Structures are given as structure tokens and as C-alpha cells.
Structure 1
């Protein structure tokens, strides 16, 4: 069973992460174009704004749903680069256990229990743990911010966080969503000076791990491309989380679709990013 889990880890995002909880994104709003996060239509009832921190740097930002134990979205700058493969450790977020705890970096469950005297029950109260993803059938650990979109060894390591993971349909994850991440994105961004990305998951009606972790109904992603300092293009993608199909669409059409799915008007980027 452990071997199967490790294979799922490798198929997902491959590496580890550290974090800092913010309200909201005070230390890491640089991962949003014009430092403007999505509007509140995406906010869950029990949110955590996490600045994913590792080795003296912030690498991306995540809005986390403590009740459903999945990320709502992760926001990052698209900077793909091949680097040496780092260690394969899954991490959890100590500040989701207790916001008063003086631990900026994430840690492995075993280390938090042994070194900081947390219990597993404390850790799993408001976030997913490794046991939640054991024995998955037809599902992978799908990283919203994939390691392949990161530049440095440290930033790739930072994606290996359970706060960046959702249960994703295995065929979609290895199929059309992988094609979007590894082929469509490089094509779309070839002339961009910098590309801001927000990738999210729409909460679904089913769960895994005996109801602990929500299985999203849809996976979506949006990007805003800058040439120099000016936004020149933007786009989106969305997929139902039980079909191997990705629909590529404009940023405006994606926001319209998400408005229907979330039940309120959704704005993902600053208005300067083109909607058509």
C-alpha cells in the first residue's frame, strides 16, 4: 500500500513544501497580478490564506478550505525549468493546527508529533493528512500548482504540500490535464515576459477518506500574460473531475462558468487582464 501511495505521489507533483498562514496573503500578494487576489465569491466558510514558504522565500499562495480539507486555489508565477529532483516528502501545515504556534515552515507529520508534541488528531482536525490519500481508487493526488511550472529546486519542493492537493480523477490527471499543463501552457506563454496563474477546484458532492476530504466536481485554471509590464492576453481551462476532457476558453468565459458553479460573481484577475 505504501508503494502505491509513493507512485501516486510521484505522478502528482513530486516534491515538498513549507508555508505561512496569512489573513489574507499579506506576505505573498506578489503572486497575483497587480497584487489583487480573486474576489470573495470563492471564499469558503472556514478559510485559511497560506503563503507557501520554504528556505527563506515565498513560492506561491493558497486559499485553503479547512472544512473540506482541500485548497480552493493556488496562485503562482509560471516559470518552468528543469532541475534536479529534490527529496520526496509530503508536508502538513502546523499553523492550521494552531495559528499561535511559532512555526513558519511546514513539517512532516511524524516530525511535528515527535518534536513539537502535536497529536495526529490535532493535525487532521483542519487539514488533510497522508492517511487520507492512502488506497485511492481511480484518483491521484493532484497538485493545483504543479512542480513542473516552478523554476528552482526550492520552489518545486514547495509544491509538495497537502495544502496544494485535491483528489483528482486519475485518467484526467495523467491525460488531458497533463497535456494542458505540459503542452498548452508552454505554447500559450512563449511570448510572455511573465505569466500569473491561478488554479482551483470547485467543491463537489462526494468525499474520500470516510467523508474527511472533498472530491472536487471541477478543476480549473486561469492565466494572465504580460509582455513587459502590460497584460496582453489571458485564458482559462476547466475540466469535470470525472472526465478526461479539458475545455480551453477565454478568461471571461471561465469567470462566467465559475460564477454559475459557485453561485456568485467571480473575478479572478485585475480588470486589466483581457476577458475576451
Structure 2
């Protein structure tokens, strides 16, 4: 049996086994007692296995632009007595202290409820792997946990929660999730692991709470509505640098010497790849959307969606996904363009009609 077949079988059936130990037990799973916990604990080690499962195509594909100060993180959590498995991947810039992108594979189950949003205190954790130095070539387990006495030292290559404190009031920025809470809320290990500042960047609150919230909601809705329980690859990233009214590059804490400077990205983007399903005769599809990170209450715009081939060639040095997605059309999301506002009102209002709120 070839390694590619083994990888396919693991990617296809391990999540199903996980759901048997979660959704069928009152819609929840308990990390200490379920079959889910047993699988995770058996994988918990210092080695990262299957970090490439979060990519369809190139492994950590390179974007155009600056290639220095980058580290490949296989996002893991440091528990009391073991290190959890890798649950998504992040290409992170240690100088700018923001991610270039986070990549994940999701399977959403319509009859499985989700966990509530974790406490905001979760943001105080750091990537322990970045607290001294980091390896820029090979992928590194991030080991998300509490920095303790070495917390201040941990800020050399990553943002700390204290770096964001006060900036909501000062320049109205949020901690902008890349790999989002909501799309991971059926799996508590994955959901908790999204609360790390190696998976977030300064995002203007007005943009975050309007257009970006709607893009995330629609993405989840399309996956649940059209390919429930199937594997879908999602990449979410940043691009460029925000500019102030005078055209100057914006960095959070630029005038606060007691805090670490953190770059404010100029754009946020999201790309989704469904590679198809030969057994069920389903064609591949994929789409991307990119919008400027500005102080604006403007809603999402269906005209901003691109096919993956166009987006990949414009922003990536390597193909961001495999050929089946790059050659595909944008899929079922285009059916909602003529009724965009109605869909937003029905699915993405104050109480979204999806698995979890953001």
C-alpha cells in the first residue's frame, strides 16, 4: 500500500471515527473520556505527524513578496502531561509578528452541535516554540501554552496579548483570527488551538464585524450546505501593509516603546478548495476572496470573489492548491450572488443559522 493511499485513508476515516466518539454522545465529546481523547493521546508526542494533511497540493506554498523571517508552524497545544497533535498549519513572520496564512482541512457535520467560544483569556497563551529562537526551514510544533516566567522573552518573535491591550480603544483593532473559531467549533482541540496570536493579526473592528464576518459565515454555509461531512481545504491569510491617511505604513504600538511592534496587514484573504469526490461523482470547485483591511462598515461584496487559478497566480510563487481545484470553477457559491443580501440576512444575521457563531 502506497504512502499516498495511507494518507488518504487516514484523512478520510480518522475524522469519521472521531465523530463516532463526539456527535453521537449528546452532540459533544469530552476530551478526557471519549474515543476522541484516546486517539489524540496516542498521537501526542514531540513529533508532528501529517502536518501536510492541511494542504492540498504544495506543502507550505510560498507567496510573492518578502520571504525572510518566516517560520512554518504545525499548530499544536501543550497540555499538562502531553503535547497535542497538529490541528492546522501556519506560515508565520517572526519580524512582523503576524501570520502570512493559516491552512486547515475541515469536515463539517450538519447534525453535530458545536462548542461555545472559548474564554478570551485563551489569547494570553504563546507559541512556546518561538520563545527562544526558531527553525526557518523545517516545520516546527508550535506548542501553544502559557509562557510563565519567560513570557517577556517570548515576545521577540511573536505578539503577546499585552501588545493588543489598549489598541481597541486607540485605533479600533481586533485580534483578527485567520483560521477561525466558528469553522472549528465541532472539535474542541482544534477550536482552542485557533486562539493563538500566531493565528491572528490586527484587524480593524469595523471590517472584522461586517464584511469579514460575512465572508466567514458564507464560507461555512456553503460547505455545510453543499459538501457536508466531506473534506474541504481552507487557507486564510494577510497581504501587504495598511496605510494611514498620509500613506505611511501602519504598525501597532509604533509609538509605544514598552510594547512590541506588530504590523497591521493591508488586506485579508480567504481561499477554499473542494477537490471533488469521484465516488459520488462530484466535481471540484474553489474560490478566493480578498478585501482591504480598513475602518469601514461596508458589507461583503460578491464581486470580490475570484477563481483559485487567478488568485494563486497573482499572489503566490507556488501553486496554492492542487490542479483539480486550480482548474475548477468557483462552484455553488455563485448561485448566491444574485440573492446575496437575502442570504446574508437569513444565514449571517445577529444569530447565524450555522453551527457556531464567531
The two structures share one fold, judged by TM-score above 0.5: yes
Q: TM-score, normalised by structure 1?
A: 0.77
Which residue of structure 2 lines up, in the alignment, with residue 214 of structure 1? 263
Matched, 1:71 2:99: yes
Which residue of structure 1 lines up, in the alignment, with residue 143 of structure 2? 105
> What SS does the corresponding residue of 2:271 show, helix, strand or coil?
strand
Q: TM-score, normalised by structure 2?
A: 0.61
Note the residue ranges of structure 1 that are not aligned, 5 or more in a row.
Answer: 1-19, 260-264
How many residues align? The count is: 243
Note the residue ranges of structure 2 that are not aligned, 5 or more in a row.
Answer: 1-44, 78-82, 136-140, 242-248, 256-260, 330-358
Contact preservation (8 Å) 2:174, 2:203:
yes
The alpha-carbon deviation at position 206 of structure 1 amounts to 1.5
Contact preservation (8 Å) 2:176, 2:201:
yes
Matched, 1:255 2:308: no
Contact preservation (8 Å) 1:219, 1:241:
yes
Which residue of structure 2 lines up, in the alignment, with residue 235 of structure 1? 287
Provide Cα deviations, 1:130-179, integer angstroms capped at 9, x if missing partner: 12111122211100001101131111101000100111121111101111
Matched, 1:182 2:213: no
Whole-Å separation in 2 of the counterparts to 1:273 and 1:195? 11
Provide Cα deviations, 1:208-261, integer angstroms capped at 9, x if missing partner: 0127100001101111113336861010010101144552221122224425xx
Structure 2 CA distance for partners of 1:21 and 1:134, relative to 1, 3 Å: farther
Which residue of structure 2 lines up, in the alignment, with residue 14 of structure 1? none
Which residue of structure 1 lines up, in the alignment, with residue 115 of structure 2? 83
Structure 2 CA distance for partners of 1:21 and 1:174, relative to 1, 3 Å: farther
Whole-Å separation in 2 of the counterparts to 1:86 and 1:128? 20
Q: Which of 273, 287, 296 matches 1:224?
A: 273
Contact preservation (8 Å) 1:42, 1:72:
no
Matched, 1:154 2:154: no
Whole-Å separation in 2 of the counterparts to 1:42 and 1:95? 25
Whole-Å separation in 2 of the counterparts to 1:60 and 1:257? 24
Contact preservation (8 Å) 1:48, 1:64:
yes
Matched, 1:32 2:60: no
> What SS does the corresponding residue of 1:190 show, helix, strand or coil?
helix
> What SS does the corresponding residue of 2:191 show, helix, strand or coil?
helix
> What SS does the corresponding residue of 1:176 show, helix, strand or coil?
helix
Structure 2 CA distance for partners of 1:82 and 1:217, relative to 1, 3 Å: same
The alpha-carbon deviation at position 26 of structure 1 amounts to 7.0
Structure 2 CA distance for partners of 1:257 and 1:123, relative to 1, 3 Å: same
Between stretches 133-142 and 159-168, larger displacement belongs to 133-142
Whole-Å separation in 1 of the counterparts to 2:160 and 2:283? 38
Higher relative strand content: 1
Whole-Å separation in 2 of the counterparts to 1:195 and 1:188? 8
Matched, 1:128 2:171: no
Structure 2 CA distance for partners of 1:108 and 1:201, relative to 1, 3 Å: same
- Greater RCO, CA 8 A, separation 6+: 1
